[in-house]
Amino acid sequence: MKSSDGKVRARFWIESALAALTGALVVLTLFWHDWLEALGFDPDNHSGAAEWLIVGALFVPFVAFAVSARLEWRRHLLAQ
């Protein structure tokens, strides 16, 4: 399937944005362990468990979105 206009599908941009967002939250949490408390939200009484749960929960979608965006980009390049 040839792309007539040379534009990347919207799916690529959505997946890239979601990968960037989840990746940024993972990195933020790895380097700033109490960012939830700085926002006034303390679900774990300063133990850091909630932040590590966030890292674990967001790492899988980050990888999935990044791989999916990469595949979409390769699809775009092959369609040209």
Residue 1 lies in a domain: yes
Taking only the tens place, the pLDDT of each residue in 8-39 is 889 999 999 999 999 998 898 888 877 788 88
Residue 77 lies in a domain: yes
Return d(Cα 21, Cα 48) in angstroms, integer.
21
Note the pLDDT of residue 71.
95
Q: Is the pTM of this model over 0.85?
A: no
The range of the structural domain enclosing residue 75 comes to 1-6+55-80
pLDDT-derived band at 42, boundaries 50, 70, 90: confident
* pLDDT higher than 60, residue 57: yes
Measured in residues, the chain has a length of 80
Count of domains for the chain: 1
Secondary structure class of 75 (helix, strand, coil): helix
